[in-house]
């Protein structure tokens, strides 16, 4: 009989946490907004590009203590945090991005590269300018619902809300620790399957096209979770090339279904509005979204950032390091800061359900 100890601590929460927003919300006051505006002017006085922003050249002496609390909660607390109160209508797109990056630099000192082109910023949107049918795009570039997943390889997931949808598009979170405890009590055999290093995970551009890794791993006292259903097992190829990725076994499919069922049972809904910044400990918290609809005047648009705090970041086990090294192993100076979505959508060779893990999209070396 399999046996694992129940996880204790602030990372164990369920939907009832929604009633305690003070645990995960920093609401900016008027003086905070003045300080942010001053920091923006200080940074601009140096004549630097947005990618050069740092905690030193975007100084926030008054906010510093509360941003330290954000870091603490992300790494050792509830695992997610919202910063609210930024009046986005006051700023140009360029200034808005600098503010986002400036605040993010006070939470993490490293930005991860999100694709082979070195993009630091990823635009999660269904742009009206794109003519490519939604079914040929990655899931984040459509208005479809996305299942619970982690952004494989990311430490801290950052989101800036530029615009909300006309309706729908709600974000939901689930604690991996709560899911783990639930399954330990009810389906311990499923826990063993999730911990097993036998899951075929798609890796476009690799000769074998996949790696074998666990979906959950207890490492140095932390439970790390890395799962994207759209990257498990065979995937459809835009050119119909046969996939070398093995199919999930019956026990793996049952374990994945159980994980998703538990996540839905314990989820919390988070309301995100224009101007909000949202940060998630990507190893500890799964997220999903509802489908949404944009009208003529709206276009749901989130700007995604992958962060790491070199001192506080969780240690990553070798089995989970491949996508993590792809994000943080390359020089940040090679990064590209595209402040707007691509004008024309490039159809990826490989399509998957949620596109949380986009290391390579071709077989080019």
* Confidence label for 139 from pLDDT (cuts 50, 70 and 90): confident
State pLDDT tens for residues 48-80: 999 999 999 999 999 999 999 999 999 999 999
State pLDDT tens for residues 193-223: 999 999 999 876 555 578 899 999 999 999 9
Is residue 14 helix, strand or coil? coil
Please check the confidence at residue 148 and state whether its pLDDT lies above 90. yes
Q: Are the C-beta atoms of 134 and 126 separated by less than 8 Å?
A: yes
Please check the confidence at residue 106 and state whether its pLDDT lies above 60. yes
Specify the long-range contacts of residues 46-54, CB closer than 8 Å, at least 24 apart. Answer: 49/337, 50/94, 50/97, 50/98, 50/101, 50/337, 50/339, 51/101, 51/120, 51/335, 51/337, 53/98, 53/101, 53/102, 53/105, 54/105
DSSP string, 131-177: -S-GGGS-GGGSSS-EEEE--TT-SEEEEEEEE--SEE--EEEEEHH
Please check the confidence at residue 85 and state whether its pLDDT lies above 60. yes
What's the mean pLDDT when you consider all of the chain? 91
Q: What are phi and psi of 75, to 5 degrees?
A: -95, -30
Please check the confidence at residue 243 and state whether its pLDDT lies above 80. no
pLDDT of residue 350: 59
pTM for this entry: 0.94
State pLDDT tens for residues 283-335: 999 999 999 999 998 899 999 999 999 999 999 999 999 989 989 988 888 89
Q: Which CATH number fits domain 19-329: 3.40.50.1220, 3.60.130.10, 3.30.70.100, 3.40.50.970?
A: 3.60.130.10
pLDDT of residue 356: 45
Token digits for 171? 């974000």
Q: What distance, in Å, lies between the first and last C-alpha atoms of the chain? A: 46
Q: What are phi and psi of 25, to 5 degrees?
A: -135, 130
Structure-token match 């619970």, residue found: 148
Q: Are the C-beta atoms of 175 and 12 separated by less than 8 Å?
A: yes
Work out the burial of residue 332: count CB atoms within 10 Å of its CB; fewer than 13 is exposed, 13-18 middle, 19 or more buried.
Answer: middle
Q: Where are the alpha helices (DSSP H) in 209-329?
A: 250-266, 321-328
* Confidence label for 153 from pLDDT (cuts 50, 70 and 90): confident
CA distance 237 to 283: 28
């Amino acid at each position: 009989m399999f046996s694992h100890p129940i996880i204790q601590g602030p990372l164990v929460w369920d939907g009832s946490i929604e009633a305690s927003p003070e645990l995960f919300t920093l609401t900016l006051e008027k003086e905070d907004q003045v300080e942010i505006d001053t920091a923006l002017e200080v940074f601009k006085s140096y004549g630097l590009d947005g990618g050069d922003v740092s905690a030193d050249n975007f100084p926030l002496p008054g906010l510093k203590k509360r941003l330290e609390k954000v870091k603490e909660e992300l790494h050792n607390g509830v695992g997610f945090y919202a910063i609210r109160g930024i009046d986005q209508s006051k700023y140009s797109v360029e200034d808005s991005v600098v503010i986002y990056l400036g605040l993010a630099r006070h939470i993490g000192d490293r930005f991860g590269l999100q694709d082979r082109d070195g993009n630091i910023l990823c635009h999660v949107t269904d742009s009206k300018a794109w003519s490519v049918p939604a079914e040929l795009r990655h899931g984040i570039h459509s208005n479809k619902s996305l299942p619970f997943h982690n952004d494989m390889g990311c430490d801290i997931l950052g989101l800036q809300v530029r615009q909300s949808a006309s309706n729908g598009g709600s974000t939901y979170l689930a604690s991996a620790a709560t899911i783990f405890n639930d399954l330990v009590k009810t389906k311990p055999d499923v826990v063993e399957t999730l911990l097993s290093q036998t899951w075929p995970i798609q890796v476009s551009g690799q000769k074998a096209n996949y790696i074998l890794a666990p979906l959950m791993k207890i490492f140095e006292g932390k439970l790390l979770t890395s799962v994207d259903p759209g990257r498990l097992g065979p995937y459809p190829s835009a050119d119909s090339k046969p996939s070398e990725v093995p199919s999930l076994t019956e026990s793996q499919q049952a374990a994945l279904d159980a994980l998703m069922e538990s996540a839905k049972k314990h989820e919390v809904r988070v309301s995100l509005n224009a101007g909000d910044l949202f940060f998630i400990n990507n190893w500890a918290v799964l997220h999903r979204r509802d489908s949404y609809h944009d009208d003529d005047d709206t276009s749901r648009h989130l700007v995604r950032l992958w962060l790491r705090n070199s001192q506080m970041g969780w240690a990553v086990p070798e089995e989970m390091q491949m996508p993590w090294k792809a994000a943080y192993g390359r020089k940040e100076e090679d990064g590209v800061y595209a402040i707007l979505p691509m004008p024309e959508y490039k159809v990826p060779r490989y399509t998957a359900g949620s596109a949380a893990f986009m290391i390579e999209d071709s077989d080019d070396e």
